[in-house]
Amino acid sequence: MHGVEKIFQPDIFKNKVVFCTGGAGTICRGQVEALVALGANATIVGRNKEKTEKAAAEMSKIRHDAKVIGLSVDVRNYESLAAAVKTTVEQLGGIDILICGAAGNFLATIEQLSPNAFKTVMDIDVLGSFNTFKAASDELIKSKGQVIFVSATLHYRGVPYQGHVSAAKAAIDSLSQVIAIEYGPKGVRSNIIAPGPIAGTEGMDRLSPNQDATAKSVPVGRMGTISDIALSTVYLCSDAASFVNGAVVVVDGGSWHVTSTF
Ligand code: HXC
């Protein structure tokens, strides 16, 4: 699954529990699949009940003894997140790895964005990430666990049509830094994964219809894959990264550094 078994020991996440928002989506699903393949059990939450439950059922087949629960939750609603955390603790025993990946996006200039459109994306991405961490933080302290926020590289420079998402991802990066400092002493690590252009994702399908041209612009000469993000997630969640806290792991083939063609 995502090639993790070729690089990592098969049971490094045995007895670990993952809680992931947006876990039925493309990138986050890959992250959870990789962790489950290496021994973890998981809860995935998403707004679409049918999609989330179907994804969880499919992911339960990754290992013969895997348990993956799918719950319908809108991350803008703190109470429903707290209930999902409670269900996870009751059914899986706690939370060791939190992945905050639920996000919303569409293409719109600042001129086209209504105040409610801007607020909607800020609420899903920023308030949703805050709510998720807040709901799960006591469990992470108990397990000396960790959180990974799924961010982006958009906000390192100005990207047109992405003002709302760029503002949201910048806020998430800041949130992670503060959590790293406030919760590091409690044994909880906080890090960011910042994917670049990843093929086969909802984000890229919306943002980049011409992915051949995008691939040519990436310094390593290809689009990223969902497995690239999954493998980086496994690294960050493993003991190999036990001293990595407050970091941003950019997984983009060098894309965001490109300023011009030559
Ligand atoms: C302008 C838009 C719009 C668009 C919605 N709005 N789509 N404005 N252009 N294309 C406005 C609406 O008119 C409304 O404002 C406000 O946004 C809220 O819209 P709703 O449809 O009521 O919101 P909601 O049902 O909560 O849906 C949220 C959503 C939707 C973000 C708009 O697209 C969604 O659910 N997305 C989830 C899936 C998703 O986006 N995945 C991709 C994530 S990828 P008014 O003023 O009319 O009330 C990602 C990667 C980022 O995040 C990095 C990439 C490199």
Res 261 pLDDT > 70: no
Mean per-residue pLDDT, 151-159 = 96
Q: Is residue 150 part of a domain?
A: yes
Q: Is residue 160 part of a domain?
A: yes
Residue 205 CB less than 6 A away from ligand 1 = no
What pLDDT score does 212 carry? 86
Q: Give a yes or no: residue 262 inside a domain.
A: no
Q: Is residue 217 part of a domain?
A: yes
Q: In this structure, what DSSP letter does residue 245 have?
A: -
The pLDDT of residue 262: 56
Q: What is the CATH number of the domain that holds 114?
A: 3.40.50.720
Look at residue 27 and tell me whether its pLDDT is greater than 70.
Answer: yes
Query: What band does 205 get if pLDDT is binned at 50, 70 and 90?
Result: confident
Residues contacting residue 209 through CB under 8 Å, at least 6 positions apart? none
Q: Quote ipTM for the complex.
A: 0.96
- Residue numbers annotated as active site: 151, 169
Interval 44-57 mean pLDDT:
98
Residue 259 is predicted with a pLDDT of: 80
- The alpha carbon dihedral of 170, 183, 11, 249 has a sign of positive
Please work out whether the CB of residue 156 comes within 6 Å of at least one atom of ligand 1. no
What pLDDT does 202 receive? 79
Q: What is the C-alpha separation between 47 and 33, in angstroms, rounded?
A: 19
What average pLDDT score do residues 180-193 get?
98
Q: By C-alpha distance, which of 152, 171, 173, 146 is closest to 244? A: 146
- Is residue 259 one of the residues assigned to a domain? no
* Vertex 174 angle, CA 104 and 35, to 5°: 65
Distance 104 CA to ligand 1 centre (A): 6
Residue nearest to ligand 1 atom 6, measured at CA: 117
Distance in angstroms (rounded) separating the CA atoms of residues 174 and 201: 25
Q: What's the structural domain count of the chain?
A: 1
Mutate to test the pocket of ligand 1, among 107, 120, 162, 193 (most ligand atoms within 8 A of CB): 120
Does ligand 1 come within 6 angstroms of the Cβ of 152? yes
Name the residue among 73, 79, 164, 181 with its Cα closest to residue 125.
164
Q: Is the pLDDT reported for residue 95 higher than 80?
A: yes
76 within a domain of the structure (yes/no): yes
User: Which pLDDT does position 193 carry in this prediction?
Assistant: 98
* Ligand 1 contact, 117 CB (< 6 A): yes
Residue 80: domain span:
10-249
| Residues 24-48, mean pLDDT to the nearest whole number | 97
